[in-house]
A = this chain, B = another copy of it.
Amino acid sequence: MTKPQPATEPPAPLSKARVLETAVAFADRHGIEALSMRKLADELGAGAMSLYYYVPNKEALIDGMVDIVFSEIEAPSLELDWKAAMRRRAHSTREALNRHRWAVGLMEGRMDPGPASIRIREAILGCLRRAGFSIAMTIQAYSVQDAYIYGFALQEKGLPFESAAESTEVAEATLQDVSDLAESFPYLAEVVAGHVVSVGYDFGESFEYGLDLILDALDKRRDEG
């Protein structure tokens, strides 16, 4: 009974990669605030302290998780023109951030960036420089785009609905509350009642609109300053 291990558990061996991937999957399902070392260990069929052989502490675990998200972002292609390449990576980033909503606040401004994060940054700078942006303009262009992409993801993360269809549902449900406040907040009421409910609100379209606006504006300023 102790020796042959009757095939009930062929437990995949622990490894840093498996720990990180399982942690990402767990956070996708239950949110990052629900992720604890003990629960993650359970998920892996191991004792809690075993994780510390692969990861020095929880902070480093999260660093590793974040770098996995970065690794899912498509780096800008060198064969497309810069606007198309930037648009693609922007969409790719938004998709990764929607798959892993827990990561939104954590991607930027983590010290100890991780290899995937560095590779992406390098590729983006390269794309812009090759397109003829000066160094100073490259920094600006990078900064505006990333602020927009991550800021948009932040908004998306918080909203209580996930699809355009759902948005009208939620809006209709809260319409009573809004109409109660219609006198105090006429513009809010107008937007909710007069547009979101009737037309619906599509996050995808909205993202595209702002992205094009920024990309076009950057294009015009490319050769100036």
Contact = CB atoms under 8 A, between A and B. Distances in A.
A31 B147 CA distance: 22
Contacts of A140: 206, 209-210
A40 B118 CA distance: 39
Contacts of A217: 213-214, 216-217
A190 interface: yes
A18 interface: no
Contacts of A221: 213
Task: Report whether over half of chain A's contact residues are helix, strand or loop; otherwise say mixed.
Answer: helix
A218 interface: yes
Interface string A109-121: 1110000001001
Interface string A98-118: 000000110011110000001
Copies of this chain, count: 2
A151 B146 contact: yes
9 contacts: A109-B155, A122-B187, A125-B187, A140-B209, A147-B147, A147-B149, A148-B148, A213-B217, A213-B221
Query: Most chain-B CB neighbours within 10 Å: which of A187, A195, A217, A218?
Result: A187
Interface stretch (A2-10, A48-56, A157-165): A157-165
A110 B158 CA distance: 6
A168 interface: no
Given A122-B185, A146-B151, A217-B213, A108 B158 contact: yes
Interface in A140-185: 140, 143-144, 146-152, 154-155, 157-160, 185
A181 B136 CA distance: 21
A199 interface: yes
Interface string A68-99: 00000000000000000000000000000000
Contacts of A158: 108-111
